[in-house]
Amino acid sequence: MLGEFNLIETYFSNQQANRDDVVLAQGDDCALVSPPSGCHIAISTDTLVCGTHFLASASPEDIAHKALASNLSDLAAMGATPAWVSMGISMPEVNEPWLASFCQAFFELANQHNIQLIGGDTTKGPLTITLTVQGFVPVGQALTRGQAQEGDGIYVTGTLGDAKAGLDVILKTRLSTQHDINQILEKRHYRSTPQVLAGTQLRGLASAAIDISDGLIADLRHILSRSQRGAIIDTEQLPISNELLCFTGSDMLARQYALTSGEEYQLCFTVPQHDEPKLDQQLAGIPYSRIGQITNSGRIVLHEQGCEVDWELTGYDHFKDH
């Protein structure tokens, strides 16, 4: 079995090209980096715990992807360009095939976003992965949660609801009779695509933004409370995949999934009316939908065909309470 030093050397060091702004990566007491002038550094940390955020049966590739994707999603929601990541990993044992698969998926996603692993810590313990990501955002252009105004359009990227359906499949709380639909949704649960490009394209355009990690309603509430506003959501405008429609068998249930599905890692953002016409050009090639409007009411109202609906929506739960 490899010792700790060799383990780090073999799996976590020298797996990526050096970014120009990384002066010193793994191997010393600290990493040294050169931040660009004129930018803030956006920093975020997310932890994934076995049994809470993924099941012990999850593949190492899926775990690695989910860990990095959830962190990249926070940078995206701030409009930041990814730069550096540190990893705290605790593992019950050294399982080299597991580590090799984990690192392969981790570095594949990291390289796609030009984010470099610059350091971390490796310990023995229950399987837990904590990543701290850092990115750049030009001074004054970060997408915060607090500036949504009455009349702003409310938008989301991609489709919503698949991650919750995927969780149903993983926990077997609901299954489609079609095996291939179950497989696609389970994959979408673990392999979401962080909306980094959308985030940077929304700089200077979105009045507020957040990534959907707890469910659209729960996350939109964060924007509304920070901005001291309310919202009308047109439930018919919620973007829903054909697979989710097939899985739920009803428009209403699919929409309820879209409103409460967590760990989607899509962006929810608001845009002032006069800037809405610019979105098509700014987000060219990125799927997005207008789902409602900011109000002054202080609450979220759900509309279907212009009428208010009163759906009992439960929040998002992880695999178990924590």
In the complex, the smallest distance separating the C-beta of residue 33 from ligand ADP, rounded to whole angstroms, is 12
Q: Where are the alpha helices (DSSP H) in the chain?
A: 4-7, 60-78, 96-112, 162-171, 179-190, 196-201, 216-227, 242-248, 251-260, 279-282
10 touches, from Mg ion, ligand ADP, none (C-beta below 5 to 8 Å by class): none
Separation of alpha carbons 60 and 288, rounded Å: 31
In the complex, the smallest distance separating the C-beta of residue 101 from ligand ADP, rounded to whole angstroms, is 15
4 belongs to the binding site for Mg ion (CB under 5 A): no
Residues that bind ligand ADP (CB under 6 A): 8, 12, 26-29, 87, 89, 117, 119-122
In the complex, the smallest distance separating the C-beta of residue 103 from ligand ADP, rounded to whole angstroms, is 9
Contacts 24+ apart (CB under 8 A), 311-317: 311/256, 311/259, 313/217, 313/256, 313/259, 313/260, 314/260, 315/214, 315/215, 315/217, 315/218, 315/260, 316/164, 316/214, 316/215, 316/218, 316/260, 316/261, 316/262, 316/263
Strand-pairing partners, residue 231, are: 294, 300
Nearest to 248 by CA among 164, 310, 183: 164
Size of the site for Mg ion (CB under 5 A): 1
In the complex with Mg ion, the residue whose CB is nearer, 69 or 89, is: 89
In the complex with ligand ADP, the residue whose CB is nearer, 27 or 249, is: 27
Separation of alpha carbons 273 and 271, rounded Å: 6
In the complex, the smallest distance separating the C-beta of residue 117 from ligand ADP, rounded to whole angstroms, is 5
Taking residues 93 to 122 in sequence order and writing x for each that binds Mg ion by CB under 5 A, - otherwise, the string is ----------------------------x-
28 touches, from ligand ADP, Mg ion, none (C-beta below 5 to 8 Å by class): ligand ADP
117 touches, from Mg ion, ligand ADP, none (C-beta below 5 to 8 Å by class): ligand ADP
Nearest to 119 by CA among 219, 188, 31: 31
How many other CB atoms are there within 10 angstroms of residue 181's CB atom? 19
In the complex, the smallest distance separating the C-beta of residue 88 from Mg ion, rounded to whole angstroms, is 9
In the complex with ligand ADP, the residue whose CB is nearer, 19 or 40, is: 19
Residues 118-177 that bind Mg ion (CB under 5 A): 121
In the complex with Mg ion, the residue whose CB is nearer, 89 or 212, is: 89
12 touches, from Mg ion, ligand ADP, none (C-beta below 5 to 8 Å by class): ligand ADP
The bridge status of strand 307-309 relative to strand 22-24 is: unpaired
The residue nearest Mg ion at its CB is 121
- The contact set with Mg ion (CB under 5 A) reads 121
